[in-house]
Chain A
Amino acid sequence: MMAHLPKRSPVVQGTAPPYRALRGNPLSDAEFRTGVLTTAWTPTLEYAWDAGEAISEFLDGLRQGKILGVRCRRCGRVVTPPRAFCELDFKPMDEWVELASTGTVNTFSICYVTWDMKPLRRPQLPAVIEIDGTNPRGGFLHLVGGVPGRSVEEIRRRVRVGMRVQAVWKPRAQRDGAITDIRYFAPVASGRSR
């Protein structure tokens, strides 16, 4: 795929600004691994983050099979993921709202690789889901699932921006109070909205 890419700019050093040779010694992958001296370190970094008031409530809601939001008394926005204060009015937000488990796909992608660029057996479908009941419409990152097919064409036939989706939950006993208590959002049988 990349065979036609040259290794280095053909510009003769010194003939383009800053009109001095640019320094640097490029290495190939093989040279990097075996040709030069390197030091390796594998960090073990562990953190235990306090979820805080708002997110703890949200996670608790997820355990109960609910998506919660909060409403700002001042500007009237209803938002999720919930927060303890309205970031626009800079006032506490404490009016909790139970939102629907349905929503709309704001955007999605079809990802075929892992973070270190290895092929996935089945593509992942990350998406931003706008949750029903929010105002203005908004939501959070999650996954679209329950969609057969592997190729871009197959998946795009079944998943669209603006499509209606429904949360598919883990069974009660398996929920931890985590975002993954929702397995994924699946297309709603009745088709597209808008």
Chain B
Amino acid sequence: MSDRVAIVGVGIVPLRVQSRERSFRELTFEAAARAYADAGITHEEVDSFVSVCEDFHEGTSITDEYTPDQLGAVLRPVHTVAGDGLQGIAAAVMLVRSGIADLVAVEAHCKASNIVSHQQVLAMALDPAYERPVRVTPHAIAALEMRRYQQDSVIPDEAIAMVVVKNRRQALANPVAAHGSSISPEDVLSSAPVAEPLRTLEISPYADGAVVIVVASEDAARRAPKPVWIRGIGWASDSPWLAMRSWGQASYAQLSATMAYTMAGITDPPREISFAELDDTYAYKELQHLEAAQLASRGEAARWIMDGHTRQGGPFPVNPSGGSLGMGYCFDATALYRTGAAVQQLRGEAGRVQVRNASTGLVLSWRGVPTQTGGAMVLGAL
């Protein structure tokens, strides 16, 4: 039995700022139906199901309760990973490699529009004794890291603004994106400060949606219309304490990428990877992650964004989907949307956002403030 694992199905609900007419169950049903159709399977043929969700995003304790019906998974093996989307994919990969499952569906959805008290939810992720009492917006933690990163890697403000410009413009060509727009670097730099040096337009705006990815064993992948291979996957968490982190370094990204590259047999990432979908929850993160994933050397990321190196038609496209800045930030579903986008690139199905000669892609995710948790996945067309 081979250990090779592929993605054979992608089902995406277009991201939208509001999704009033449909409940989270109904959105997820659509994503699952699309994913199963894409994979050429029925819900009964799926062996195991993984849901990625968090109680306080849903406003429900033990949100796992509300996962099976809309996946067609009643009385089946279903479990929830309260974590990053790539951890959900990792669980699916491990289930397939264990031998007991040939097809695993991984689901995530987002109803950010239904969360009224966003800041309260975010603030509750901070340590109650040492960190929460400081009572600053959790975005300030990103701002602290941003300032440190800018200093260490010498990143001018304009470079960070260009990430926003690139990704929001790119999203105009992506039918799944919610926040495409044509803005200038000046628009970004003059947008209201949230917590210096972080500005409003540098924070990805929310969107609602749902996405299902179908993971398959080699056997099952051979029967599927369009498999894309998971050559490597990694995930890691560094210390949750604000006081105990190497500010600016995205160590979780370094560790995850190393694990994924090792598994994929990649020794020279900039040469062997053709494009990347990297977390850009905050604009500076795209540059930071580029460096942490060893795709650009220190300082190179800033040069690249300024000279167009990372645009869709450039030598190393980054976030051709438009990223979270352009598509919308959708909490637990973010990493799976980026996975779906990368899979479409490798299949040659990305339409107007298609990258040329895409043969190997990297997806890199982060769980957001205040975590130091993320994942990395190397996908290949062959």
The reply on B267 being an interface residue by CB < 8 A is no
**Does A54 belong to the interface (CB within 8 Å)?**
yes
Whether B23 pairs with A51 at a CB distance below 8 angstroms is: yes
Q: Closest A residue to B74 by CB, please name it.
A: A87
Tell me if B352 is interfacial: C-beta within 8 Å of chain A: no
Q: Tell me whether B120 is interfacial, beta carbon within 8 Å.
A: yes
| Chain A interface extent, by class | 20 to 34
Chain B residues proximal to chain A, CB less than 8 Å: 19-26, 29, 32-33, 36, 42-43, 56, 59, 68-70, 72, 74, 111, 113-117, 120-121, 124, 128-129, 132-133
- Asked if A30 CB lies within 8 Å of chain B CBs, one says no
Complex Cα distance, B74 from A150, in Å, reads: 39
Known A39-B133, A90-B72; judge A53-B43 contact (CB<8 A): no
Secondary structure at chain A's binding surface: helix, strand, loop or mixed? loop
Provide the residues of chain A in CB contact with B129, threshold 8 Å: 39
Instruction: Answer whether residue A44 sits at the interface, using C-beta atoms and an 8 A cutoff.
Output: yes
User: Could you write out 30 A-B pairs with CB less than 8 Å apart?
Assistant: A39-B128, A39-B133, A41-B132, A43-B124, A44-B117, A45-B56, A45-B117, A45-B121, A47-B117, A48-B116, A49-B23, A49-B111, A49-B114, A50-B19, A50-B20, A50-B24, A50-B114, A52-B21, A52-B24, A52-B26, A53-B22, A54-B26, A55-B23, A83-B25, A84-B25, A85-B26, A87-B68, A87-B70, A88-B74, A90-B33
Task: Determine the chain B residues whose CB is within 8 A of the CB of A55 once the complex forms.
Answer: 23
Please, which residues of chain A bring their CB within 8 A of the CB of B56? 45
Which A residues are in CB contact (< 8 Å) with B133? 39
Residues of chain B contacted by A39 (CB below 8 angstroms): 128-129, 132-133
Q: Which of B25, B68, B74, B124 contacts A52 (CB 8 A)?
A: B25
- When distances are taken between beta carbons in the complex, the residues of chain B under 8 Å from A43 are 120, 124
B-contact bits for A62-88, CB 8 A (1 contact / 0 none): 000000000000000000000111011
Kindly provide the distance from the CB of A178 to the nearest chain B CB, expressed in whole angstroms: 16
> Which residues in A have some Cβ–Cβ distance to B below 8 Å?
39, 41, 43-55, 83-85, 87-88, 90
Known contacts A52-B26, A83-B69, A85-B70; decide if A47 and B116 are in contact (CB<8 Å). Answer: yes
A90 x B19 contact (CB < 8 A): no
Look across to chain B and name the residue whose beta carbon is closest to the beta carbon of A55. Answer: B23
A129 to chain B, nearest CB (A): 20
CB of A175 to closest CB in B, whole Å: 21
Instruction: Check if B120 sits within 8 Å of A50, measured CB to CB.
Output: no
B29 and A84 contact, CB distance less than 8 A? yes
Roughly how many angstroms separate A55 CA and B69 CA in the complex, as a whole number? Answer: 15
Q: Which of A46, A50, A83 contacts B21 (CB 8 A)?
A: A50
Q: Nearest-CB distance from B115 to chain A (Å)?
A: 6
Name A85's closest neighbour in chain B (CB-CB). Answer: B29
Greatest chain B CB density within 10 A among A83, A88, A90 is at A90
Closest beta carbon of chain B to A57's beta carbon, Å? 11
Residue of B nearest to A40 (CB): B128
A48–B23 CA distance with the chains assembled, in angstroms: 11
On chain B, the residues within 8 Å of A54 by CB distance are 23, 26
A55 → chain B, closest Cβ, in Å? 6
A49 to chain B, nearest CB (A): 5
CB B73 to nearest CB in A, in angstroms, measures: 9
Q: By the criterion CB–CB under 8 Å, are A50 and B124 in contact?
A: no
CB contacts (< 8 Å) of B26 on chain A: these are 52-54, 84-85
